[in-house]
Structure 1
Amino acid sequence: MAAIGVGRQRPVPTLLLLGLPAFAAAPPRFAVVTTVVSRPCDLAVDRICRAHHTQTKIAALAYKLGCQLSNVGYAGPKAILMHGVYAPSSMAMLAAQGWRVHNVTADLRALFPAGVPGRARPALQIPPRRAGVVQPRNDGWATLYKLYAWSLVEFELVLHTDLDVVFSASPEPAIRAALATRLVFQALPEEAYRGYHGLNTHIMLLRPNTDVFSLLMTNAVRGHFVPFTRTEQDVLETVFPPEVGEEWGANGTAVRAVPWPHHKHWGPDADKAICRRHAACCPAPNEQHDPSPAR
């Protein structure tokens, strides 16, 4: 499936580094980023929540993502956008893998109430869902999680991946290919159940930028998007319209989509798929310990 690519106007700056030895290697300008979210749910009926969203299970999936990245040869920086308070053992497990954690819980609570899911402030214009049942949350939090990837401006380029993605090869070549272009955003197109061109953000390439981050957050908080999933996909479809994606080239030249890393999106069956391909990653440390998820 072809990907949607968007180009940028700003030229890539040239930096002159003085006083450094000629053999000094520049640090990586990129990172693999994922989002770790726990939420209350009815474990008896919510299959997706049962598979992914208890604190221990989602921490274990993050560990398995780090493990499989190592298995396929990726040794670059890794970062987690985290929501919630996790057990010290889970945090130590992730730190040992080299994950850099950015906890965004306080920011989310400042924008949305921390009470019962389903209640958003009247001032926050959260549109009603128009079609489809993708996830039950309508408290606004799920609309913001992944948008924080645009705030990671210490990196020039980020590959954001969901926890239910299984890699069969290192994503680094795809990331470096994107770095060599003026690509600012790339995601896979999706039209399922919509009746219009949309995006699937289980994996995406993006260039962090504070102005773009502000624009995305403003659209999300004010409800300026076409509601469908009630996730960041709706906001990104508004800011990066898929139907005009490749027309936004630098200096009028189209920026074609770069190849994706070899991967597969497994959804609720990801844990089994990860363990089949990367048996050494299973089970994760302390996976059997399962405290109640916290908001």
Structure 2
Amino acid sequence: MIDIKNMSKKIDDKYILKNVDLHVNKGSIFGIIGENGAGKTTLIKCLTGIYRVNEGRILIDGEEIFDNNKIKQKIGYVSDENQYFSSFKVKELLEFYKKAYNDFSKERFDELNVKFKIPLNRRIRELSKGMKMRTAILLNLSIKPDILILDEPTSGLDPVIKKELMSIIVDEVASRDVTVFISSHHLDHIERICDNIAIIKNGTIKLKSSMEDAKNSMKKLQVMFRDAVNINAKLSSINGVIKVETIGRINYIITKNYTKNFEKKLYDMGAEFIEIVDMSLEDMFIYFVGEDDENE
């Protein structure tokens, strides 16, 4: 559905994205996460055809996205900062979308607006940040997109609407086989709804994984050894170990390559007790990025 192939983007002669390779399957939810300034928004602007890439290709349904109005008709895009005509009333913006998108559905907008409660007679400049985000989300859901690209879509939304939005996104995928590409700092939302994730740092993809594989391979272990002499150095030498911390007799080990064989190595080193702790996506992100910092 979406293929990003060896793509790089420069702005003012500086590489913002470098050699990005990603594939997003049709009818899946793909999450991109990273620190501020990592390149998430630039990637999304390339993916939506706002920016022309300098190197590589971005294909949607096998076609280049840049300057391709046919493909753009299929894409709903919600920016982290939505710049609409400030003097337009919401109902006038609806008419604009109706003329711009062949499949725009006022009925779908009205159906969703029962919960989102956007005042149609208010001008855009009179809306709060959260209400502008609600408006952008509903407008782009109402074009019945094949692809929904969301850049920090929960910014400014209250908890009830955030939960409602996540439910709507999952329903769009289930009912219409929509493909979703989402960036968010709310990693609990990403973890809950995404099939696949990528971590981006300094314009480079550092990790690509299914959510399931990430959870299975990245673990925190609490381990007690019979002989703790030089144990930290020994543990740090094991492939895939990101961090080792010792408190009393307990060694806390973070690994990105957990397997039963990894556990066996610990027993062979004299482990008497091992407890495996599952990690949240936020934990994974913090440790993974921290490891990358230490290696640079």
Both proteins in one fold, TM over 0.5: no
- Give the structure-2-normalised TM-score: 0.23
Say which one has the larger Rg: 2
Higher relative contact order (CA 8 A, sep 6+): 1
